Amino acid sequence: MNVDGLLVGQATLAALMNVAFALAVGSILFERWLAADGAQPRTASAHLAWHRARTSIVVAALVLVLADGGWLLYEAASISGTDLLGGVAVLPDVLVKTQVGHAWCVAFGGAAVLAIAACLYHGGRFGQVMLALALLACAAGAALLGHTADAGVVSIAAAVQLLHMISTATWGGLVLAGGFIVLPALDTSVTRGALIRTADRVSSTSLIAFIVVVATGLFAAERGLGGELSALRTSPWGHVLALKLALVLLAVLFGGLNRISVLPRLRRSASTADAHTFNNVLHLEAFLILAVFIVASVLAQTAPA
């Protein structure tokens, strides 16, 4: 496999890691909200949505474990300058002797604990704490897999990147899990109240997360551009960043449409038409978030300006 093939494979797995992590975060939030809303019993009208969120946590965690493992193999091959088979031979050295290997161990350990906790999770306090700690470990390790590690493990850049990853996963995860998995199961007349309450939570939490995404993203962008806005036009990193910003802006427009126009109408009318509109707009926003995660993975594989 040539170098370009390795980069494509690594970027693909990085995108899968980001999507799986975000889905896990979003699904955990939905599961908690719906459980608090009384959707856990089989007789509850919103039980299907709760069950989908619960299942999504497990699937996302397992996918994250597999994606982490595949990503390390591609990283080892890239470091060794050979192919995947050559990457296998240098895996021990990568894990023991490199900063990437150390960060990956933290991220993979978190993913493994997340998968185990998700499979055993029954809604108790201990299970919630284990899920939260596992997510934190995943984010902490992943934050140091990219260019941020150049500034050091204990640095402002690393802390900002960690916060950026958590807030991005919260915003993106709610949109992905809501648009593709959970909220379609609440698109009936008997679940209309649960849909409105959940949509309110999604809108409020997403807004807070997005504000943090913007603040931390500006810091990362300034660092990646080297303090020069002209690098947006003159560097490959700047070009990919511009594409990512354009996709984020489109996603924000859809999210703003739901928050400012559709959701207030849905609260007033509780009509089927407004419920369908909210879910359809969120569905479109979810496709844009997928594109954002894909472009973000390419950005992570591109040398900063």
The number of residues in the chain equals 305
33 in a domain, yes or no?
A: yes
What would the mean pLDDT of 111-140 be, rounded to a whole number? Answer: 93
For 16-36, the pLDDT digits (tens) are 999 999 999 999 999 999 999
Quick: pLDDT tens for 212-244.
999 998 887 777 676 667 767 778 878 888 899
Query: For 135-149, 175-189, 256-270, 276-290, which range has the lowest pLDDT when averaged over its residues?
Result: 135-149
CATH assignment at residue 90: 1.20.1630
What is the per-residue pLDDT across 36-84, written as a single tens digit (0 to 9) for each? Answer: 999 999 999 999 999 999 999 999 999 999 999 999 998 888 888 777 8
Q: How far is CA 99 from the centre of its chain?
A: 23
Q: Which domain, by its residues, includes 131?
A: 3-300
124 occurs within a structural domain: yes
Rounded Cα–Cα distance for residues 50 and 52 (Å):
5
- Compute the half-sphere exposure of residue 152: CA atoms within 13 Å on the CB side of its CA: 3
Indicate if the pLDDT at residue 208 is higher than 50: yes
Q: Is residue 169 part of a domain?
A: yes
Q: What is the mean pLDDT of residues 154-179?
A: 92
Q: What is the pLDDT of residue 224?
A: 67
Assigned domain for 305 exists: no
Structural tokens at position 169:
């996963």
pTM of the model: 0.92
Residue 81 inside a domain? The answer is: yes
For the beta carbon of residue 75, count every other beta carbon within 10 angstroms: 22
pLDDT for position 83 = 79
Find the range with the poorest average confidence among 6-20, 97-111, 207-221, 231-245.
Answer: 231-245
pLDDT at 1: 46
